[in-house]
Amino acid sequence: MNTKAHGIIELPDRRIDCEVEAPCLLTDLAVKAGVILNVACGGQGTCGGCAVDILTGRFTDLDGVEIAVAPGKPRRVLSCRTRLLGGEFEIRVPRHSLVEAGEKVVMDFAHAPKVTLRPPVRKEFLRLTKPTLQDQRGDLERVGDELRHRGYAGHISSSVHLARAARSAAPAGYELTVTVAGNDGAWRMIRIEPGDTTGLLYGAAVDIGTTTVVVTLVDLVSGKITDAASGYNQQVIRCDDVASRISYASDPQRLEELRSLVIESTVNRLLRLLVRRGGLEPADVSHMTVSGNTVMTHLFCGMSPAGIGGVPFSPITNFPGPYRAEALGLAMNPDALVDVFPSAAGYIGGDATADMYVCGVTQQRELTVMIDIGTNAEIVVGNRDRSIACAAPAGPAFEGGGIAPGMRAAVGAIDSFVLEAVENEPQYSVIGDNKPTGVCGSGLIDFLAQAYLAGVISPAGRFTDEAKAKCPRIRKFPGSNGGSETFAYEIAPADQTDDGLRPILITERDIATLLQAKAVIFASLQIAMKHFGAGFDEIDSFYLAGGFARHINLDNVVAIGLLPDIDRDKYTFIGNGSLAGAFVAILDEEVRAKLPHVAAAATVIELNLDEDFQDAYIMAMLLP
């Protein structure tokens, strides 16, 4: 029987008063209160990311066993495995369990090719002859005939939405503006408005990331972005990473839930915000381009990504769409076309296709490398003659996953680290200038490089005897969950951290996890180069895509052997290449036409089938 429960959720910077129906999972309680917890495992209880402290109240685990809470003695539990039974309660959420606003989200792009402004959607102002007894053509036929006179060849169609609105233009003396969308040589009339509105034509370029979604409003008359907004992909309230979303979406109802979370709760919310700020109507947005990895675009379209989750990693389609906005439930012109970027494979997604186009991998004579470092780092090696692509299963280490103090690049994350000598005090910076909560990817890379160069750790990633003798920060600390003591480097003592309870430590196990991640990426790059038949010294241009790459120290990245030691001038940071691709595709119909060829041009290799990969991986485990 359900009862009312009332209580407080205490966050690092505020307290939330909330009331819910009980019993309920604490993860559901958090969602109702607008708190996004780090549920990387999709609520399986394996990642520990949703840990909270219960201070007062009545709770049980999933087996119904009561969890006793003594006054003044908080109990740390996993939200996804704990139920609130009812009554009064108080819960404290530590910062490291939050997916917080304030991440270093890349909404911009530092590199985009110049294109001609020729969008696949356009407006035409028409002055039509009025019907007479001698000329009884329908309004839509008059519009179609006039468009053909203006050079619109091929079939011209329309929808019932347009037919219902067509006669509203008649009182204006048959002076009207028609919006026309082109696709594969055919044209579709998607809007009719009274008078001349040719100066008002907008589209939306969208980057759907696993964590963050960026929506830009593009003026298709001027070719400029007029506004942009970003927010968390609301799917994170159910599961954090790609693998857990594939698993979660195996149930049709949960698949629909994830689709609704990314469409209605994320993209539509941002789109409505931009439309409202621009003084527009949803119908004014007449085209959308969407870039993202294959799993994210499948979920966006409501297609099951189950096939991508296991061998042979096959998606439902590598070349989705275009689809009508109404079919996807988007808050824009219902007849507008939505172009979803094509993929090369299950793990070489539309975002990689966008990166390839933006970097010109398939257009340049010179040897070009593109890499987007993430949980599955996408690597492309090639030129205009051929290209090799692979996905390096690096895991989430450089996004903070699997590392004791690891976290995303959010407020409280140590994002840079400097250590000049073993016995010296480290220097570090924290996002938001707060006390540190943990260490994000760029800070972890800096730690590895600086600790290695200072002699704190060996090439195998172990603390050296000299460091143990000279550095008081290296000593044995109690293991997690009552485990045995282990050597660790104390970056920040407990009294200097955000919660004042836990020191920020890097253990040899954490170092090993980071070395495994960097080894996978470097070995994958080596194998891709081998298949292309070239060495690192032959690389002419090396592009680094994505938000993570924007914030790394390149010398430190090279020092740990994550990327090759080549002329630094060959490296270029392109920022959000996925968004850049979506932007140029909405401006130029020729870009849109080329994208399937870019995706299909890449020869995708499976690393586990290459006989040299294992040896390359083992060698890359060492710090160079």
The predicted pLDDT at position 136 comes to 83
C-alpha span between 344 and 362 (Å, rounded): 13
In the prediction, which pLDDT does 103 show? 42
Note the pLDDT tens digit of each residue in 396-415: 888 887 888 988 787 889 99
Reduced to 3 states, what is the DSSP secondary structure of residue 53? strand
**pLDDT for residue 110:** 67
Alpha helices, H only, 278-376: 294-301, 325-328, 350-359
At 297-323, the pLDDT tens digits run: 999 999 999 999 988 899 999 999 899
Distance CA 150, CA 157 (A): 16
**The CATH number of domain 350-395+515-620 is 3.90.1570:** no
Could you say which residues of the chain have pLDDT below 50? 101-106
CB 322 within 8 A of CB 339: yes
Give all strands (DSSP E) within 365-473, no chain letters.
368-372, 377-382, 387-392, 413-418, 427-430, 438-439
Hey, do 202-340 and 350-395+515-620 end up sharing a CATH topology, with the first three levels equal?
A: yes
Cα(first)–Cα(last) distance of the chain, in Å?
Answer: 62
Block residue for tokens 């698993």: 247
DSSP notation for 237-295:
GT--SHHHHHHHTTSHHHHHHHHHHHIIIIIIHHHHHHHHHTT--GGGEEEEEEEE-HH
Residue type for position 478: P
pLDDT at 132: 80
| Domain ranges (residues) in the chain | 3-97, 121-194, 202-340, 350-395+515-620, 397-513
Q: Which two tokens stand for residue 349?
A: 């997604």
| CATH number 3.40.718.10 is the correct assignment for the domain at 121-194 | no
pLDDT for position 216: 95
Nearest to 305 by CA among 357, 235, 353: 235
* CA distance linking residue 391 with residue 524, whole number of Å: 8
Its sign, for the CA torsion 331, 332, 334, 339, is: negative
Instruction: Report the candidate in 40, 53, 38, 95 with the shortest Cα–Cα distance to residue 437.
Output: 95
For residue 142, the model assigns a pLDDT of 85
- Fold of the domain built from segment(s) 202-340: Nucleotidyltransferase; domain 5 (3.30.420)
Q: What is the pLDDT of residue 480?
A: 65
| pTM recorded for the entire structure | 0.83
DSSP single-letter state for residue 199: T
CA dihedral over 227, 231, 233, 235, signed as positive or negative = negative
For residue 5, list its beta bridge partners. Answer: 20, 87
Chain-centroid distance, C-alpha 58: 37
> What CATH number has the domain spanning 3-97?
3.10.20.30
Q: Backbone phi, then psi, for 617, in 5-degree steps?
A: -65, -45
57: left (phi over 0), alpha (psi -120 to 50) or beta: left
Q: What angle do helix axes 577-587 and 350-359 make, rounded to 10 degrees?
A: 80
DSSP code per residue over 98-151:
B--S------SBS-------B-SEEEEEEEPPPP-SS----HHHHHHHHHHHTT
Q: How far apart are CA 507 and CA 525, in angstroms?
A: 28
Give the E-state strand segments of 132-223 in sequence order.
Answer: 156-158, 175-183, 186-194, 202-208, 212-219
